[in-house]
Amino acid sequence: MSSAQPAGTNSTRKYQLLIDGQWVDSQSGKTFTTPNPATGETLAEVAEGDKADIDNAVAAARRAFEGKWSRISARDRGRMLYKLSQLIEEHSTELAALETADNGKPIKESSYVDLPQVAENFEYFAGWATKIEGETIPVPGEMFNYTLREPVGVCGQIIPWNFPLLMAAWKLAPALAAGNTIVLKPAEQTPVTAMELGKLIQEAGFPEGVVNIVPGYGETAGAALAAHPGIDKVAFTGSTEVGKLIARAAADNLTKVSLELGGKAPNIVFADADIEQAVNGAMMGIFFNQGQVCCAGSRLFVQADVKDQFIDRLKEKSAKIVVGDPMDKATNMGPQVSQEQLNRVKSYADIARTEGATVVAGGECPTLTGAFQNGYFYQPTIFSDVKNQMRIAQEEIFGPVVSVISFENEDDLIKQANETIYGLSAGIWTSNITRAHRFAKAIKAGVIWINTYNMFNAASPFGGYKQSGYGREMGKHALEMYTNVKSVWVDLSGKPIGWFGK
């Protein structure tokens, strides 16, 4: 990557917009800055796209879709995606460092979780490019009916800041495999790695205009993209609140929409579980990525018989979590992504106290020194004595705050677990195999983890029920979001149609 500078230095990086294969300033000439959340220092200055730039990007994506890209074979699309996955692997050390510098996630996570999964997604969908097929349908009479599976066209993709590069990969890889063109809007908090990805996309040989990347604010660039009459589909990952705005904006043009939104996942521990494993799983469920995960196991249901023992062990182990410099390999938890996010977490801790929950651990900002005293850090936080109706159990906090709720038996549990507007994911810890599968059926959520948590693979679908959204990312299901089915009828009889006479 030509303009790469070592991440974590004080020098400010600069990025332009990627439109029609060119790196350009925004029409307004405006820029915005993105801080390193561990220190508050400016990491990069980025061109600020808005409606005018979105218009240009959509026009470029349309030209590419109707032109060059439509003439490129599926095999070549696959080869470009594969090349891109290899380039990402080659540059994974710098990309992981930049992801950590922009988002705050520990380098251990960006290096060993985010980057490998980014490469995996492009590699997986590279294989799909040549396997997107229609069908022949056994219709009656002397007729031949077949389907074509075609790209939907120009896709607007709006992504969040919690897994900046991985969310770009989840969206771009299936869309490109299916032959679409794209206008991608990264989150304003974390635009840096998407812009670096743009350079690798060019290097992988994608023609100009196939992928356009326009960073900017949600209310301006994002809103203009969602409402744009020139796009055929909008794909969004982010909060349920903004998801509703996107769906409303898209409704005016009846643009196709897929939404991957918030969650308030139940992570459930039965007394017959391996408690040590369940404690590890509870921590993985809520503290991974500083709790900024839509499928975080934020409602921790623990069966009453083991509750005290479980909480003691959870407290003991959580106390060992190292919060601090995210660039340090020994760190388990970095800062929240922004001051705004930190304020949100703090306000929910206050709400929890007012609602009568008990602080078991955390509940404050840690005291860090030196460069990190201005970072947006929060302690791993555990509240017990939470009731499922409380706001901290119903509203998405998106931070390292878990609510422990006690339950008596399975019936009582299933009812409470489903009492939420969300339905993204759920976890269960038990040694009873029939209970585990009964639970998997009974919970209204798109992903269920049994004796594990936060497992992902490019081949496995991910997405929500209820207000957690619709559509599925990854796996072959993602291709459905990026293809249209066309039905073609052919008369084989050669006879005139006699319906209205000869």
158 in contact with ligand ADP (CB under 6 A): yes
239 in contact with ligand ADP (CB under 6 A): yes
Provide, rounded to whole angstroms, the least separation between the CB of residue 32 and ligand ADP.
11
Q: Which of residues 188-207 bind ligand ADP (CB under 6 A)?
A: 188
156 in contact with ligand ADP (CB under 6 A): no
Stretch of 15-23, 219-227, 264-272, 488-496 contacting ligand ADP, by CB under 6 A? 219-227
Tokens of 113: 């979780």
Whole-angstrom distance, CA of residue 306 vs CA of residue 146: 58
Residues facing residue 47 across a β-bridge:
31
Provide, rounded to whole angstroms, the least separation between the CB of residue 245 and ligand ADP.
4
164 in contact with ligand ADP (CB under 6 A): no
Stretch of 12-20, 77-85, 235-243, 278-286 contacting ligand ADP, by CB under 6 A? 235-243
Total count of residues recorded for the chain: 502
Whole-angstrom distance, CA of residue 298 vs CA of residue 128: 35
CB of 186 or CB of 266, closer to ligand ADP: 186
Whole-angstrom distance, CA of residue 494 vs CA of residue 100: 66
238 in contact with ligand ADP (CB under 6 A): yes
294 is catalytic: yes
| Of the residues 44, 126, 173, 187, which one makes contact with ligand ADP according to CB under 6 A | 187
Long-range Cβ contacts of 364-368 (<8 Å, 24+ apart): 366/323, 366/324, 368/323, 368/324
Alpha-carbon torsion 433, 434, 440, 444, what sign?
Answer: negative
CB of 160 or CB of 423, closer to ligand ADP: 160
219 in contact with ligand ADP (CB under 6 A): yes
Q: Which of 196, 260, 396, 473 is catalytic?
A: 260
The overall longest dimension of the chain from CA atoms, in Å, is: 90
Nearest to 58 by CA among 297, 232, 307, 186: 232
Whole-angstrom distance, CA of residue 297 vs CA of residue 362: 17
What φ, ψ does residue 146 adopt, rounded to 5°?
-140, 165
Binders of ligand ADP: how many residues, by CB under 6 A? 17
215 in contact with ligand ADP (CB under 6 A): no
CB of 246 or CB of 323, closer to ligand ADP: 246
| Of the residues 91, 105, 171, 185, which one makes contact with ligand ADP according to CB under 6 A | 185
| Per-position DSSP letters for 160-225, written without gaps between them | -SSSHHHHHHHHHHHHHHTT-EEEEE--TT--HHHHHHHHHHHHTTPPTTSEEE----IIIIIHHH
CB of 48 or CB of 120, closer to ligand ADP: 48
Provide, rounded to whole angstroms, the least separation between the CB of residue 54 and ligand ADP.
10
Tokens of 65: 């879709």
Q: Which of 120, 188, 294, 473 is catalytic?
A: 294
Q: Which of residues 57-76 bind ligand ADP (CB under 6 A)?
A: none
Q: What is the dihedral of CA 381, 387, 392, 394, to 10 degrees?
A: 130
| Of the residues 80, 152, 192, 246, which one makes contact with ligand ADP according to CB under 6 A | 246
In the complex, the residues that contact ligand ADP under the rule CB under 6 A are 158-160, 185, 187-188, 217-219, 222-223, 226, 238-239, 242, 245-246
Instruction: Return the active site residues.
Output: 260, 294
